[in-house]
């Protein structure tokens, strides 16, 4: 398994991109800032989450690591 990062470009439907924009807003509201919709896409590229689920998953992960 390689750990080398790859840069990629994908086409995404506007309604799908909006899920990540909304999640980004929810994260910023909860944590004060967010990594941006593109980073969220990279985190959950394979998942079909809605914006609230995506925000909750990200916030939970950040807060869990901050508490450790």
Domain limits of the chain?
A: 14-67
Kindly tell me if the per-residue pLDDT of 55 is higher than 70. yes
User: Can you tell me the distance from the alpha carbon of 48 to that of 50, in angstroms, rounded to the nearest whole number?
Assistant: 7
Distance of CA 11 to the CA centre of its chain: 17
Would you say the pTM of this structure is higher than 0.85?
A: no
Average of per-residue pLDDT values in the chain: 80
Per-residue pLDDT of 8-38, as tens digits, reads: 777 888 998 898 899 899 989 988 999 899 8
3-class SS at 68?
coil
- Beta carbons within 10 angstroms of residue 40's beta carbon: 24
CB 19 within 8 A of CB 37: no
| Predicted local distance difference test score (pLDDT) of residue 25 | 93
């Amino acid at each position: 398994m390689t750990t080398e990062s790859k840069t990629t470009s994908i086409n995404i439907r506007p309604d799908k991109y909006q899920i990540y924009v909304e999640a980004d807003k929810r994260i910023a509201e909860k944590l004060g800032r967010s990594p941006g919709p593109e980073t969220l896409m990279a985190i959950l590229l394979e998942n079909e989450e809605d914006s609230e689920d995506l925000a909750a998953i990200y916030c939970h992960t950040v807060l869990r690591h901050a508490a450790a």
